[in-house]
Structure 1
Amino acid sequence: MTDAQPDPAVPPTLQDDKTMPIIVYACYIAGWVTGISPVIGVILAYVSKATAPEWLQSHYVFQIRTFWLSLLGGLLGVLTLIIGIGALILVAVGIWVTVRAIVGLQWLLKGEAYPTPRNWML
């Protein structure tokens, strides 16, 4: 019985590289200032998802869903601006995205998969 040791001649894979999901979460938070950075973030999430290990894929699924749900909420906010509640909806969507990004970052920095990536709330 032998212990399976990694071969030192083979470079380590990026199994635990948290850089890209951190960048995506940062893009979502920066959306308050830039407006366009969440689009960059979702593109990065789509590109990175396929080659990521399963635990990181949960973060990418969460990030992708966050983008599309926020786009839906933002559209609802814009359409209801004329009746006076749109601004409140837009601010609520921005807060919702920021909270989701912060919670996602917390799970990511602990090195854990996001537990419920397909939920609407958290």
Structure 2
Amino acid sequence: MSTSPVVSKDEITVPQIIYVLYLAGLLTANVTLLIGVIMAYVYQGDAAPWLREHYRYQVRTFWIGVLYSLIAFVLSLIVVGILIWPLLMIWLIVRCVIGLRDLRRGQPPANPGSWLW
């Protein structure tokens, strides 16, 4: 029987805020996404190893999201991209929810190098 590690609320506060900023980016024209990725870069160096994986996951979420957004924008010029924008929003929501869940459990994201979830 394994027990989950004791996780203090203080050590998970910043990564939680970053996930929430990413989700808020859906309503704030991505301004909070930029703030979140800057915070992830700033705080990752001093974090515990398992939290570094969350910061890595958050940074990758930002940059992969930028790439997917550029692809959606270019494809929007030929109408196909309009269908990609809702999928991109769902992708971001799922990544943030999975990250928050794992953070609450005191574990690193299951697959921080993934391009999907």
The normalised TM-score by structure 1 is 0.84
Larger RCO (CA under 8 A, 6+ residues apart): 2
CA positional deviation for 1:89: 1.2
CA positional deviation for 1:115: 2.3
* Structure 1 runs not aligned, ≥5 long: 1-13
Following TM superposition, where does structure 1 have runs of at least 4 consecutive aligned residues deviating by more than 3 angstroms? Answer: none
In 1, distance between residues paired with 2:89 and 2:22? 9
Specify the alignment match of 1:59 in structure 2. Answer: 54
> 1:56-97 CA deviation, whole Å, 9 max, x = no partner?
000000000000000000001111111111121122111101
In 2, distance between residues paired with 1:63 and 1:27? 11
The 3-state SS of whatever aligns with 2:66 is: helix
Specify the alignment match of 1:106 in structure 2. Answer: 101
Specify the alignment match of 1:34 in structure 2. Answer: 28
The normalised TM-score by structure 2 is 0.88
Name which one, 1 or 2, has greater alpha-carbon Rg.
1
Percent of aligned positions with the same letter in both sequences?
39
Matched, 1:121 2:108: no
Query: Which structure shows the higher helix fraction?
Result: 2
Number of residue pairs the alignment of both structures matches: 109
- Contact in 2 for aligned 1:15/1:52 (Cα 8 Å): no
CA positional deviation for 1:16: 6.0
Specify the alignment match of 2:41 in structure 1. Answer: 46
CA positional deviation for 1:22: 0.3
Matched, 1:22 2:12: no
Aligned-residue RMSD, C-alpha: 1.5
